[in-house]
C-alpha cells in the first residue's frame, strides 16, 4: 500500500508548485495509470514515491507512506545506467540489496531475457541506442523485484514490436504498479484504475478506466490528456517539394549505421523509422552535420555539413537530440533560446523578439526564468525544439520530437512543423510515434 496525504512539491527557484494537495491511496496489487497534461507533475510524483526528491532541491508539503520499496524506471533511461557493461548494470541493484551472489546472475539473465535484450552481458552500455537503454534500465528495475513498480513512459523509446513485448511483460507481473504513459489506448489493458493530475494541484479525476473516459473523456481531451477515440487529423503538404537540401549517399558510421541512401527536399517531411539499434539516431547526427560518416557521404548544395563552422551550422540546420538535456548549456530557458541566435550573429532586438515568440508558441512563456533541468520531460522536449527553430534554419533534424507531449502540445507542435514545412523548410524526424507519421510525414524510410 502507498498513501500520499496533502502532498506538495515546489522545485527550488520556482514560484509555481509542481504538485500540491495530492491525496491518493493505492492498495497492494493495484495497477494505476497516471495521466495529466504536460507539466502536471506526473514524473515529479513518481520521483517522490521513489524517494528521489532531495530536501535541498525544493519545498515539500504533506506526507508519503509506502509499504516495502519501490523500483523506478525514469523518463530518461540513460540517467539510470551506472556501469560500463550491461550485465554489471543489471547486477548493480541486487548487489546493493545484499542478494546472495549465487542468485544475482540468474536474476540478471532472467530480467534481460524478459525485456528482449539481445546483447551479451559484456556489451558496453555506451554502445546502446535509446530504446536499448530503456530495455536495459527496465531489466535493472525488474531484477530488484520491488514491491511497487513506478514506470515513467516505459515504451517511449521503443519500436512497436519492442513496446508490445514490454507491455506483455508488465501484464504478467503481479506487482503494484503506477504507470505514466501517453500511449493510453495501449496501456489500458495493463491497468484497473486511472488517476488524472491537475497541473500544480491535486487529483482531478480518479476511477475505473471505463468510467473515467465515459464521463470525462471530452473534457480531458480538451485539457490535453490523450483519450482513446479522439483521432488527430493529418496535415498534408500544401505543395510539391522543392530543391534538394541534403543527400546521404551510402552514408555509414562504424557499426551503428549501415550504408544509407536518402534525399531530403525543401517543403517536405521525411520520417525515419526502424527497430531499435538500426542507426536512426546516428543517421540524424550525420544529416545534422554533428558527426562525420566513416564511409559514404552526407552532402548539401554548400558541401558536407560536418565541415561547417558552428555558427554556419546553427543558421542552416537545426537539430533536436534524442535526450534534450544533452543540448542545454545555460541556467535559464530564455537564455537557452537566445544562445543560438546570438552565436549566429543576429542583432539584439531580433534575438529578443525571436525568444519571446518561441516562448509563446511552444507554451514555455511561464517558464522563461526556470532552469531547463527542472522542467518536465515534455517541457524539455519543447524547449529543445524551440532552440532548433531559433535561428530559422532551412533544414530541421528532429529525434523523437513528440516524446512526453500531451494531446494539446502534440497538436500545436505538429501544426507548427506543418507550417514550417509549407513555408519551405525541410524536416527529417526520427520517430516511433505512428500518429505523428500519419499526421505530418510526406515520405518515410525504414532502417534495418
357 domain-assigned: no
Q: What is the CATH number of the domain that holds 40?
A: 3.40.50.300
144 and 185 part of one domain: yes
312 and 170 part of one domain: no
Q: What is the pLDDT of residue 191?
A: 97
Taking the C-alpha atoms of residue 200 and residue 202, their distance in angstroms, rounded to an integer, is 7
9 and 141 part of one domain: yes
Whether the pLDDT of residue 256 is over 80: the answer is no
Q: What is the pLDDT of residue 269?
A: 97
Q: What is the pLDDT of residue 152?
A: 95
* Residue 407 host element (H or E): helix 407-422
119 and 268 part of one domain: no
313 domain-assigned: yes
153 and 254 part of one domain: no
Q: How confident is the model at residue 157 (pLDDT cuts 50, 70, 90)?
A: confident
CA dihedral 284→130→420→250, nearest 10 degrees, is 20
Q: How confident is the model at residue 370 (pLDDT cuts 50, 70, 90)?
A: very high
Q: What is the pLDDT of residue 13?
A: 84
399 domain-assigned: yes
Whether the pLDDT of residue 318 is over 80: the answer is yes
Domain residues for the domain of 139 are 2-222
53 domain-assigned: yes
58 and 93 part of one domain: yes
403 domain-assigned: yes
- Look at 317 and 405; give whichever has higher pLDDT: 317
373 domain-assigned: no
226-231 average pLDDT score: 84
pLDDT in tens, 324-363: 888 899 999 999 999 999 988 899 999 999 999 999 999 9
Nearest Cα to Cα of residue 405 among 440, 363, 443: 363
Nearest Cα to Cα of residue 267 among 310, 303, 238, 230: 238
Q: What is the pLDDT of residue 301?
A: 96
Nearest Cα to Cα of residue 142 among 76, 89, 102: 89
114 domain-assigned: yes
What string of DSSP letters covers 104-134? HHHHHHHHHHHTT--S-TT-BGGG--HHHHH
**Angle at which helices 130-144 and 101-114 pack, to 10 degrees?**
140
Sheet holding 58-66, edge to edge: 19-26, 2-11, 58-66
63 and 31 part of one domain: yes
Q: What is the pLDDT of residue 70?
A: 95
313 and 436 part of one domain: yes
CA distances from 362 to 220, 234, 356, 359 (A): 20, 20, 10, 6
Give the count of beta carbons closer than 10 Å to the beta carbon of residue 337: 26
Total structural domains in the chain? 2
Q: What is the pLDDT of residue 297?
A: 96
Give the count of beta carbons closer than 10 Å to the beta carbon of residue 348: 10
35 domain-assigned: yes
317 and 213 part of one domain: no
Whether the pLDDT of residue 68 is over 90: the answer is no
283 and 183 part of one domain: no
Amino acid at each position: 500500500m502507498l498513501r500520499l496525504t496533502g502532498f506538495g512539491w515546489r522545485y527550488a527557484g520556482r514560484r509555481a508548485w509542481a504538485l500540491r494537495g495530492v491525496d491518493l491511496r493505492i492498495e497492494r496489487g493495484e495497477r494505476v495509470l497516471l495521466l495529466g497534461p504536460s507539466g502536471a507533475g506526473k514524473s515529479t510524483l513518481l520521483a517522490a514515491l521513489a524517494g528521489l526528491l532531495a530536501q535541498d532541491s525544493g519545498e515539500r508539503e504533506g506526507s508519503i507512506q509506502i509499504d516495502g520499496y519501490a523500483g523506478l524506471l525514469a523518463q530518461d533511461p540513460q540517467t539510470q545506467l551506472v556501469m560500463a557493461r550491461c550485465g554489471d548494470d543489471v547486477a548493480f541493484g541486487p548487489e546493493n540489496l545484499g542478494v546472495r551472489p549465487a542468485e544475482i546472475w540468474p536474476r540478471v539473465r532472467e530480467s534481460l531475457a524478459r525485456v528482449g535484450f539481445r546483447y551479451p552481458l559484456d556489451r558496453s552500455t555506451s554502445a546502446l541506442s535509446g530504446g536499448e537503454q530503456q530495455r536495459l534500465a527496465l531489466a535493472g528495475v525488474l531484477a530488484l523485484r520491488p514491491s511497487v513498480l513506478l514506470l515513467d513512459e516505459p515504451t517511449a523509446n521503443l519500436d512497436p514490436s519492442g513496446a508490445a513485448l514490454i507491455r506483455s511483460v508488465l501484464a504478467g507481473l503481479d506487482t503494484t504498479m503506477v504507470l505514466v504513459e501517453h500511449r493510453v489506448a495501449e496501456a489500458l489493458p495493463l491497468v484497473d484504475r486511472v488517476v488524472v493530475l491537475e497541473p500544480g494541484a491535486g487529483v482531478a479525476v480518479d476511477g475505473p478506466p471505463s468510467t473515467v473516459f465515459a464521463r470525462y473523456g471530452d473534457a480531458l481531451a480538451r485539457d490535453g490528456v490523450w483519450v482513446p477515440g479522439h483521432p488527430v487529423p493529418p496535415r498534408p503538404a500544401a505543395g510539391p517539394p522543392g530543391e534538394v537540401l541534403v543527400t546521404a549517399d551510402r552514408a555509414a558510421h562504424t557499426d551503428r549505421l549501415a550504408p544509407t541512401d536518402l534525399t531530403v527536399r525543401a517543403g517536405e517531411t521525411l520520417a525515419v523509422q526502424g527497430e531499435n539499434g538500426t542507426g536512426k539516431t546516428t543517421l540524424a547526427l550525420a544529416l545534422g552535420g554533428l558527426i562525420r560518416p566513416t564511409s559514404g557521404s552526407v552532402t548539401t548544395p554548400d558541401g558536407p555539413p560536418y565541415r561547417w563552422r558552428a555558427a554556419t551550422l546553427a543558421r542552416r540546420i537545426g537539430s533536436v537530440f534524442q535526450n534534450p538535456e544533452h543540448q542545454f548549456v545555460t541556467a535559464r530557458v530564455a537564455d537557452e533560446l537566445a544562445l543560438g541566435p546570438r552565436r549566429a550573429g543576429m542583432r539584439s532586438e531580433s534575438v529578443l523578439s525571436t525568444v519571446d515568440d518561441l516562448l509563446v508558441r511552444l507554451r514555455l512563456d511561464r517558464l522563461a526564468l526556470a532552469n531547463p533541468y527542472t522542467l518536465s520531460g515534455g517541457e524539455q522536449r519543447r524547449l529543445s525544439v524551440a532552440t532548433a527553430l531559433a535561428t530559422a534554419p532551412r533544414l530541421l533534424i528532429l529525434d523523437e520530437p513528440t516524446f512526453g507531449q500531451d494531446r494539446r502540445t502534440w497538436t500545436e507542435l505538429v501544426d507548427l512543423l506543418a507550417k514550417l514545412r509549407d513555408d519551405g523548410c525541410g524536416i527529417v524526424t526520427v520517430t516511433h510515434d505512428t500518429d505523428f507519421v500519419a499526421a505530418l510525414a510526406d515520405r518515410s524510410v525504414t532502417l534495418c
